[in-house]
Amino acid sequence: MATSKEMTAGPALPLILKFTLPLLLGNLLQQTYSLVDAAIVGKFLGINALASVGASTSVVFLILGFCNGCCGGFGIPVAQKFGARDYSTMRSYVAVSLKLAAGMSVVIALLTCILCEDILRIMRTPENIFEGAYAYLLVTFIGVPCTFFYNLLSSIIRALGDSKTPFWFLLFAAVLNIILDLFCILVLDWGVAGAAIATVFSQGLSAVLCYIYMYRKFEILQGTPKERRFQSKLAKTLLYIGVPMGLQFSITAIGSIMLQSANNALGTACVAAFTSAMRIKMFFICTFESLGIAMATYSGQNYGAGKPERIWLGIKASALMMIIYAAFTFLLLMVGAKYFALIFVDPSETEILLDTELFLHVSCMFFPMLGLLCILRYTIQGVGFTNLAMFSGVAEMIARILVSLYAVPVFGFIAVCYGDPMAWIAADLFLVPAFIYVYRRLKKQVFTNSQVTQTVA
């Protein structure tokens, strides 16, 4: 029998660290098979094929980021009700979120498939890689329901304090994805579309198995027919929290699309360098994302339990872990960036290798800014202020658009390298005062509730 765990009592640092580690391992696995995707494509299909996959990276983040943001948002009321020990309402939230996911994912898949070609044209995708980029993107969009459901189920399980179970399903998906990658590309000769098919199929099968396991093993989720009905009031709450989180990812991605579009105009070599550098960067920054997700669950449960002081303890503990990791990655990437780049391209591709190394060197200097962003944003989201957190995405978008429009045409690829760091700084300038405002609101709310309780007593 699987167990759910509360994080509303005990020292913050070990609780968050213990919860983060399976998340981190899962994210590393996810990035590993993303790396393997790109490495297999780059090594066996060539630079143009690698650029085809990379040319659509920001668009994939735009759509899948919205889906993943919604899934994370749907998990927040579950975490809050779990922290408050209101298990009946919690089960109703789970049931409603699954129904919403079914409708939303199908609509998103249909719309994006129809607009796929137009999106790539707008992004000025080079003609020599257009066909491969279209095939990769179309398959990815068809598989949106698979991604949506896997992430939603993982979010629900994490909301119950269990970050280990999603890891095991992700491990299964990662191993299956690598095997299918090799089979689809080397045996079936399906090209870049084969890489996308392998990913979608792996996530879909993992989602099905996760759903079966979740309802069989988590007794706390076993509800009555009444709890499984669709309730419009709960749906509105889920959408109120989930959609702003999804939009925050999408707004952030709009800036990334602008940046990638500007980079696409610099030529295939820059696209390939951007692709390999982003894959490597994503691998190393998933620790910050994992800490953020852990803080969303931690803050959600403690908010539900009426313990805002523990949220501040969690901020300090996660910030300490973040700084230590950022220092480690800085040293590692400053020394080893060029060796990581060789995973994707041959040593003869000197221009691509140098550009990849430059991108990583610039990025790792600003990792503490990204770490702070993840911790504060997810904490604010975890206590239900998702609209406020969304505006940090607007700050990121504006920064990337300004770099894309004014810096890249003048300075070239070096400006692309500074696009993300400038966005992280812009978001932090908003998030620091936003968190202070939210934390003061929470303390005032708890104080008011305690006064009312004493008066009634």
- Picking from 23, 32, 38, 26, the residue whose alpha carbon sits closest to that of residue 136 is 38
81, 87 in Cβ contact below 8 A?
yes
pLDDT of res. 1: 45
Q: Which is more confidently placed, 349 or 51?
A: 349
**Residues 259 and 206 occupy one common structural domain:** no
Where is pLDDT greater, at 3 or 319?
A: 319
In a shared domain, residues 167 and 298:
no
Helices (H) and strands (E) in the chain, counts: 17, 0
Whether the CB-CB separation of 190 and 46 falls below 8 Å is answered with no
Please check whether residues 294 and 221 belong to one and the same domain.
Answer: no
Distance (Å, whole) CA 37 – CA 270: 19
Tell whether 216 and 312 lie within a shared domain. Answer: no
Give a yes or no: residue 15 inside a domain.
no
Query: Are residue 212 and residue 343 in the same domain, yes or no?
Result: no
Structure tokens at 187: 């045996």
In a domain, 8, yes or no: no
Confidence check: pLDDT of 51 > 70: no
Question: Do 120 and 264 fall within a single domain?
Answer: no
Of the candidates 244, 265, 218, which has an alpha carbon nearest to the alpha carbon of residue 416?
265
> In whole angstroms, what separates CA 60 from the centre of its chain?
11
Q: What is the mean pLDDT of residues 30-42?
A: 69
Q: Is the model's pLDDT at 275 over the cut of 90? A: no
- Tell me if 80 is assigned to some domain: yes
What pLDDT is attached to residue 457?
Answer: 43
Question: Is residue 453 predicted with pLDDT exceeding 50?
Answer: no
62, pLDDT greater than 60: yes
pLDDT(456) > 50: no
Higher-pLDDT residue of 128 and 363 is 363
Please spell the DSSP secondary structure of 45-103, one letter per residue.
Answer: H-HHHHHHHHHTHHHHHHHHHHHHHHHHHHHHHHHHHHHTT-HHHHHHHHHHHHHHHHH
Q: What is the pLDDT of residue 53?
A: 67
The pLDDT value given to residue 424: 95
User: Which of 58, 134, 68 lies closest to 104, judged by CA?
Assistant: 68
Buried b (16+ CB within 10 A) or exposed e, 16-31: bbebbebbbbbbbbbb
Q: Higher-confidence residue: 54 or 447?
A: 54
Residues 121-136 pLDDT 10s: 877 777 777 887 888 8
Query: Where does a domain end: 197, 229, 261?
Result: 229
197-244 confidence digits (pLDDT tens): 888 898 888 888 888 888 787 788 887 888 888 888 999 988 888 888
Rg (CA), the chain: 22
Q: In terms of domains, do 287 and 414 share one? A: yes
177-204 pLDDT, tens digit each: 888 888 888 888 887 788 888 888 988 8
Q: Residue 219 burial by CB count (10 A; 0-12/13-18/19+): exposed, middle or buried?
A: exposed
In the chain, how many domains are there? Answer: 2
Same domain, 105 and 223: yes
What pLDDT, on a 0 to 100 scale, did the predictor assign at position 56?
A: 66
Q: How confident is the model at residue 454 (pLDDT cuts 50, 70, 90)?
A: very low
pLDDT > 70: percent of the chain: 90
62 and 169, same structural domain?
Answer: yes
pLDDT of 279 over the 70 cut: yes
Band of pLDDT at residue 415, cut at 50, 70 and 90: very high
Q: Confidence band (pLDDT; 50, 70, 90) for 33?
A: low
Write down the pLDDT at residue 327: 96
The confidence band for 359, taking pLDDT boundaries of 50, 70 and 90, is very high
Q: Within a domain: residue 3?
A: no
Assess contact for 16 and 295: CB atoms under 8 A. yes
CA gap 31, 304 in Å, rounded: 32
Residue 9 lies in a domain: no
Residues 291-329 pLDDT 10s? 988 898 888 888 887 888 888 999 999 999 999 999 999
The closest of 28, 23, 19, 21 to 282, measured between CA atoms, is 28
**Does position 426 have pLDDT exceeding 90, yes or no?**
yes
HEC sequence for 266-303: CCHHHHHHHHHHHHHHHHHHHHHHHHHHHHHHHHHHHH
* pLDDT tens readout for residues 84-101: 888 888 899 999 999 999
Rounded average pLDDT over 374-402: 87
Percent of the chain with pLDDT over 90: 24
Q: Are residues 184 and 313 in the same domain?
A: no
- Among 38-47, 77-86, 287-296, the minimum mean pLDDT is found in 38-47
Average pLDDT along the chain: 83
Highest mean pLDDT among 26-40, 110-124, 430-444: 430-444
Domain boundary among 196, 229, 262: 229
Whether residue 84 is contained in a domain is answered as yes
To which H or E segment does residue 160 belong? none
Among 4-18, 200-214, 416-430, which is the least confidently predicted range? 4-18
437 is a domain residue? yes
Q: Using the 8-state DSSP alphabet, how is residue 231 labeled?
A: -
Residue 174, both tokens: 């990662």
Tens digits of residue pLDDT in 239-272: 888 888 788 777 777 787 788 788 878 887 888 8
User: The domain containing residue 65 runs over which residues?
Assistant: 22-229
Per-residue confidence band for 54, with pLDDT thresholds at 50, 70 and 90:
low
C-alpha–C-alpha distance, residues 198 and 77, integer Å: 33
* Residue 288 domain flag: yes
